[in-house]
Amino acid sequence: MMRLKIITYAKVNLYLDVVGKYPNGYHQIESIFQNVSLYDELVLEDSCDGLCFSTNDKSLPTDRRNLVIKAVELLKNTFKINRGINIHLHKSIPIGSGLGGGSSNCAGALAGLNLVWNLGLSNDDLIKFARLLGADVPFFLIGGTCAVGGIGDIVNKLPFSGGYYIVLIYPGLSSSTAEVYRHNSLSIRRVRKGIEYYSYNFRKVLLELARKNWKRVLYNRLEKPAFNLYPQIAKIKDNIKKKIKK
């Protein structure tokens, strides 16, 4: 019986712009994802049959709404696995915080199941499965600092060494990414038709990042609709800005 512990890190968006909308309703983004040290823990243990999933967070769904469950079912059905698995998820990344906790857990489950069930999949193979499960999931199989395009599923590693600290403030609320994208205050910076990966503007952002001018690229187009939906977040930012000025 094999037992494995996987650490699944959170992420922040150092830069995020919305540059289009696909016919299926998903938005096209340009972003820079960055892993941070906040993490959840997944413990996977091989079992004779069935799936047993538990978590310390009672608010977390434990059915097919959970991406970890979807990852188990996807690999089990694809490779006709006749073994079971016991999974315990210890949550530290707040749910609905925009830190990618669910996607990170999903990526960790894919990587862990690959080892526990001895599937022999490469990381590129795992990324193909990740794209079937969620837009942000592929990033967490690469990690670090990445340029991200498409709906979040086009991921390219960036040679960037940070040398800075990120302070995360959690106001105790769970936000809906879908609601933020649907809000009428979201403006889309349209790029020239036919540009599928990164626009000229985004390439300039990458250049500034390479020059370590990271302060000049911090931007998030979702901030305005998020503030409209959750005014308490805007208030927190205003209070921080006032204290910095002092």
CA distances from 239 to 129, 235, 246 (A): 43, 6, 11
Q: Residue 208's pLDDT is what? A: 84
Average pLDDT (104-126) is: 97
pLDDT at residue 213 is higher than 90: no
Contact 75, 109 (CB under 8 A): no
Contact 115, 75 (CB under 8 A): no
Q: Residue 183's pLDDT is what? A: 95
The catalytic residue among 11, 17, 70, 153 is 11
* Average pLDDT along the chain: 91
Instruction: Work out the pLDDT band at 192, boundaries 50, 70, 90.
Output: low
Active site residue 11: yes
Measured in degrees and rounded to the nearest 5, phi and psi for residue 105 equal -60, -40
Q: What is the pLDDT of residues 62-95, one digit of tens each?
A: 999 999 999 999 999 999 999 999 999 999 999 9
Q: At what angle do helices 123-133 and 67-78 cross, to 10 degrees?
A: 120
- CATH code for the domain of 37: 3.30.230.10
The catalytic residue among 17, 40, 70, 136 is 136
CA atoms within 13 A on the CB side of 70: 17
Instruction: Work out the pLDDT band at 194, boundaries 50, 70, 90.
Output: low
Q: Sign of dihedral through CA atoms 18, 155, 157, 112?
A: positive
Average pLDDT (212-223) is: 86
Average pLDDT (121-140) is: 96
pLDDT at residue 175 is higher than 70: yes
Tokens, residue 144: 């670090």
Average pLDDT (145-167) is: 85
Q: Sign of dihedral through CA atoms 155, 158, 161, 164?
A: negative
Q: Sign of dihedral through CA atoms 168, 173, 177, 181?
A: negative
Choice among 40-44, 164-168, 241-245 with the minimum mean pLDDT = 241-245
* Mode of pairing for the β-strands spanning 84-90 and 145-149: unpaired
Cβ density class 170-204: b for 16+ within 10 Å, e for less: eeeeebeeeebbeeeebeeeebeeeeeebbeebee
Name residue 9's beta-bridge partners: 39
Active site residue 40: no
Cβ atoms within 10 Å, residue 215: 8
Q: How far apart are CA 172 and CA 13, in angstroms?
A: 20
Domain count, the chain: 1
Domain interval for residue 95? 3-245
Q: Residue 241's pLDDT is what? A: 87
Measured in degrees and rounded to the nearest 5, phi and psi for residue 192 equal -60, 140
Which pTM was predicted?
0.92
Choice among 71-80, 135-144, 206-215 with the minimum mean pLDDT = 206-215
pLDDT at residue 57 is higher than 70: yes
